Amino acid sequence: LAKTTQPISMDSYEGQEVNITCSHNNIATNDYITWYQQFPSQGPRFIIQGYKTKVTNEVASLFIPADRKSSTLSLPRVSLSDTAVYYCLVGDLHTGGFKTIFGAGTRLFVKA
Amino acid sequence: DTGVSQDPRHKITKRGQNVTFRCDPISEHNRLYWYRQTLGQGPEFLTYFQNEAQLEKSRLLSDRFSAERPKGSFSTLEIQRTEQGDSAMYLCASSFGGNNSPLHFGNGTRLTVT
- Report the residue of A30, A46, A86, A98 to disrupt the B interface, i.e. the one with the largest count of B CBs within 10 Å: A98
pLDDT single digits (tens) A10-67 = 999 999 999 999 999 999 998 899 999 999 989 999 999 999 999 999 999 999 999 9
Rounded CA-CA distance A61/B96 in Å is 23
pLDDT single digits (tens) A49-63 = 999 999 999 999 999
- Cβ neighbours of A111 (radius 10 Å): 11
Judge contact between B6 and B21, C-beta under 8 A: yes
Q: How far is CA A93 from the centre of its chain?
A: 15
Per-residue pLDDT, B80: 97
Mean pLDDT across chain B, nearest whole number? Answer: 93
- How far from A16 is each of A11, A44, A80, A91, B91, CA to CA, in Å? 10, 23, 11, 30, 32
DSSP β-bridge partners for residue A9:
A107
3-state secondary structure of B61: coil
Residue in A49, A87, A104 nearest the CB of B102: A49
B56 touches chain A (CB under 8 A): yes
* B3-22 residues touching A, CB cutoff 8 A: 4
Rounded CA-CA distance B63/A105 in Å is 30
Per-residue pLDDT, B32: 94
Burial label for A74, CB within 10 Å (0-12, 13-18, 19+), is: middle
- How far from B112 is each of A38, A88, B88, CA to CA, in Å? 21, 28, 7
Per-residue pLDDT, A103: 79
Going through A1-112 in order, the beta strands assigned E by DSSP cover: 9-13, 18-23, 32-38, 45-50, 53-56, 61-64, 70-75, 84-91, 106-111
Nearest-CA residue of chain B relative to A39? B107
Burial label for A58, CB within 10 Å (0-12, 13-18, 19+), is: exposed
Residue B1 has pLDDT above 60, yes or no: no
User: Side-chain half-sphere of B25: how many Cα atoms within 13 Å?
Assistant: 29
